[in-house]
Amino acid sequence: MRQELRSPDGDVALSPLTMDDAEAHLAGEDAELVRYLNGGPGTPATVGAHLRRCEEQWRAGGPVHAFGVRVGTPPVLAGTVEVQFDQPYLPAGQVNLAYGLYPRWRGRGIATRAVELACLHAASAGATLAVIRVEPENAASAAVAVRAGFAHAGRGEDGFDHYTRPLATTDLVELYTTETSESTRLTRSPHGVLEYRRTRELLRRALTPPPARVLDVGGGTGAHARWLAADGYDVHLVDPVPAHVEAAAALPGVTAEVGDARRLRAPDGSADVVLLLGPLYHLTEAADRARALAEARRVLRPGGVVVAAGISRYLSLLEAGTTGRLTEGMAAAVRHLIATGDYDGHLGFVPAHFHTAAGLRAELESAGLRDVEVYGVEGPAWPALDAAGEGEFDRLVEAAIRCARVAERDPLLINASAHLLAVAR
């Protein structure tokens, strides 16, 4: 569990509140903070007592973790955010977030980034759902919650509007924020380039012609949103990683928001195309995948198209066998993966769920989608591209693409692709 966190742009950080913050905290208080957060005007005595309690809570491990929101170098206290565990009004696994900024720092997106960092902290402590309770007339606080990926869950018996955000994807957020560059994933290896080219080819074949509204769920930094927008589509991207959303929103013709595939904010019947090119393998529980597919169906217009990607259960076998990494010890994990779809990270990456073509088709059909067709993306030649190396890529890639086209729906070869693409209505 991390006590110090920093936003991807480096501008906003969270660290525990201490007695050293007393003067700045007292100076920053205004009528809005008194009304919505503090419960009464602060004095040196009350602020000191509060900060001593904060320090005691940190030493005791909670249940309240009080952070200072710090901006710039050297860091300046801009406000506070509390992560409140084990609250009597919330079920187990849920946390309440309470936040407030001093007047000079409002309206700059700082509160949103602070809340996103607080969600990371909550998830690292095992929380599964974050809750923000907002007084109905506090529109500014509600807007922060929405920008941070929370959805309105209704008004509680306490009279507050409740906004919630699932935290099960937060390990994924941290991975893509600190360890993995999604922006280069489809360009840094021969089979990654093949995946990108074939996915683009299959999408252009399957999608409703532009102009049409595309909801790119789990779209990362916008690798596919970029060319879809250039082709004339109206593209809105949803991703749980704030750094991805920031990058995607900078692309021409693309809008983006932080969100979760299992709880989309898009209205019913609002998209001509829904892409799920990442969520189904990152959602390791069948119930979560079903929820994401149900959401895709909900926001799809009649006659629209859902496209969902899966990773083949045979990817690990083919990659490790081709590169010489398939040891006797790894073989047991590979056999388990092929039998169950449960990937444990033995070749890198996070634990995930891998599909067979039949399994991917069944999940879409169980969600009420129809006319499901599943395609192998890279075809059976993709391991050869990686083995030959980048120097041979230009010579081999066209044959590999032709091979993928021949085998894309062959029931005996489809699972030899690294990725699978299901198209449904």
* Residue 415 predicted with pLDDT over 90: yes
What average pLDDT score do residues 253-270 get? 91
Structure token digits, residue 196:
């990108």
User: Is the pLDDT assigned to residue 182 strictly greater than 80?
Assistant: no
> What is the pLDDT of the chain when averaged over all its residues?
89
> Which residue range forms the structural domain that includes residue 107?
5-167
Interval 392-412: pLDDT, tens: 999 999 999 999 999 999 999
pLDDT of residue 173: 61
Please enumerate in sequence order all residues whose Cβ is within 8 A of that of 251, keeping only pairs 6 or more positions apart, or say none: 222, 225, 226, 229
- Give the end of a domain, one of 167, 195, 228: 167
Query: Is 342 part of any domain?
Result: no
- Looking at the fold, whether 200 and 116 belong to one and the same domain comes out as no
Q: Name the band, by pLDDT with cuts 50, 70 and 90, for residue 187.
A: low
The predicted pLDDT at position 179 comes to 45
- pLDDT tens for each residue of 26-66: 888 888 777 766 666 778 888 888 889 999 989 888 899 99
Q: How confident is the model at residue 1 (pLDDT cuts 50, 70, 90)?
A: very low
For residue 74, say if its preceding peptide bond is cis, omega within 30 degrees of 0: yes
Triad 329, 334, 337: Cα angle to 5°: 140
pLDDT of the residue at 347: 79
Domain end marker among 138, 167, 196: 167
Q: Does 194 lie in the same domain as 146?
A: no
Residue 319 maps to a domain: no
Q: Which residues contact 248 (CB under 8 A, 6 or more apart)?
A: 219, 220, 221, 222, 225, 237, 239, 254, 256
On the question of pLDDT at 302 being above 90, the answer is yes
Q: What gap in Å lies between CA 142 and CA 151, rounded to an integer?
A: 10
Residue ending a domain, among 167, 193, 213, is 167
Same domain? 125 vs 181: no
Q: Considering the domain boundaries, does residue 324 fall inside one?
A: no
Instruction: Check residues 377 and 169 and name the one with the higher pLDDT.
Output: 377
